[in-house]
Amino acid sequence: MKFIMLLLLVAGCASRPQLYPNQKLKKVGKEAAKQDVDQCIADADEYLKSSKGKQVAKSAGAGATIGAAMGAVGGMFRGDIGRGIVRGGAIGAAGGGAAGAVSPDQLKQRFVNQCLAEKGYQVIGWD
């Protein structure tokens, strides 16, 4: 499980937005656009270091903990505590993440998308 989380984190860090070739991109060129993307990513990283960014990122973890505890109680009644913990943790993480907004990677992508949109670019996806 930890390996999968690490793999997703590394993959998320290497991810970059793909820009639609609109008038802005055609006007400034690929090199200037790359610099704008790099600046927006740096701004997003700085934001995620802030207390608000950390608060959003923690929501899914808190939900998983609460869900796992609830799953353990449910599992006791069904005779399978282990399975109850796993199921409860998964449901709690999803609920906590939804309640707290989005995952750190999603938050970063949304931040970068908005930053680039304000500069006149259109993001069509992430690689």
At 50-85, the pLDDT tens digits run 866 566 556 656 666 666 666 666 667 777 777 766
Residue type for position 121: Y
Better pLDDT: 122 or 93: 122
pTM of this prediction?
Answer: 0.56
